[in-house]
Amino acid sequence: MINKKYLPSKNFIIALSAAIVLVVVIIILNYWRPSTTKYSNNNLSASDANATSSVMTLDSDGDGLPDWKEILYGTDPHNIDTEEDGTPDGEEINENRDPLKANTAPKGQEANDKIDPTLVVQSQEATAEYEKLNSTQKMAEDLMSNIIASQPADGTQMDQATMDSLTQGTLQDIPEKEYNGITQESDLNIISIDVSTSTLASELASYRTDYYNETEKFAGIIGQDIKIIENISSSTGNGISISEAKKEMSTITSDYQAIINNLIKVPIPAATDSAGVMFHLALINDLEKLIQIDNDMVNSYGTDTASVFSDLSVYNSTISELVMVLDTLDTVLKIKY
């Protein structure tokens, strides 16, 4: 573990990392393009952000420790067994042994190069403190540690490609959040089907109309939430404040909630557990997830920028799933636009 005294101040590295993430967020938002679906969503295409460099996995001596971790531990990235006691550095780390301390115990006896128990406790305490940090703070510490550990051994300045790779790798390590809808099938207004009755056709027509009306509302506002996030990060001087963004986002999420409430009330002429019911439920749950994601993005923007980066990824996958559900229901209901 790098001695904290050699690191820049926490405020500095958080500000630096937040700035880096903010730039990436702006770049990602610029990838959004209109789709060909009725729902006029923009598809997030961040393939460039998926690029990874061998710098994070490079293991010159093949001892199981990447070169950048070798520098963190103080071991030799070009020597499989730094202290030459017969055990590779990576294996020693996995066995809680000190890779810089030679094992002098006779063969067959327990190794005597174990890491000092007090250091283990200190490491555990440091890990506990790390887990208390928010996404941006964790990203800041990870990025700065990786940058320091990956400095060229010959004293030359790190090249931009390596710096970009380290940044991208650290961004990819930000955990993706999990959001879940809260509506259950039992909450829906399901009407048992009786194919022998003459009312089935009218019931289906009524459902088709109700579904159409609600999804038309959604088609009119989809993408406005991500536009609000884009406007906060605007570099043109026309950006909005976070407080303004929260007000605008509240309007969007209220509209989503109104659509959800109406979809829950809509009479559904279908059998319980049928595909139609499941797709209707998925539509509602995806809208509920969008509300959670939107609120988290706008509330995290000023305090935890890395969290916004993670939310953008989840937002995109949720929108993709939602559009698939809508397109499927449109096809089944024979709705054309």
Radius of gyration of the chain (CA): 27
Domain-ending residue, one of 112, 146, 172: 172
Domain-ending residue, one of 172, 202, 234: 172
Task: Write down the mean pLDDT value for the chain.
Answer: 77
Q: Are 101 and 83 in contact (CB under 8 A)?
A: yes
| 151 compared with 255, residue with greater pLDDT | 255
Q: Are 98 and 92 in contact (CB under 8 A)?
A: yes
Confidence of residue 161 (pLDDT cuts 50, 70, 90): confident
Please name the amino acid found at residue 70.
Answer: E
Q: How far apart are the first and last CA of the chain?
A: 60
Is 180 contained in some domain? no
Is 179 contained in some domain? no
Query: What pLDDT does 259 receive?
Result: 97
193 plus 157 within the same structural domain: no
Is 102 contained in some domain? yes
Domain-ending residue, one of 172, 200, 217: 172
pLDDT in tens, 174-212: 778 899 999 999 999 998 776 666 577 888 889 999 999
21 plus 104 within the same structural domain: yes
138 plus 251 within the same structural domain: no
pTM (global) more than 0.75: no
107 plus 216 within the same structural domain: no
Domain residue limits at 12: 4-172
Among 296, 28, 306, 5, residue whose Cα is nearest residue 143: 306
Is 71 contained in some domain? yes
147 plus 271 within the same structural domain: no
127 plus 265 within the same structural domain: no
pLDDT in tens, 59-102: 778 888 877 677 667 788 888 998 888 889 888 888 888 888 88
223 plus 125 within the same structural domain: no
Is 178 contained in some domain? no
Q: Are 213 and 333 in contact (CB under 8 A)?
A: no
Q: Are 6 and 149 in contact (CB under 8 A)?
A: no
Residue 43: φ, ψ to 5° = -95, 130
By mean pLDDT, which of 23-32, 205-214, 224-233 is the weakest? 23-32
The structure tokens listed for 248 are 């605008």
Block residue for tokens 């940058």? 147
| 12 compared with 283, residue with greater pLDDT | 283
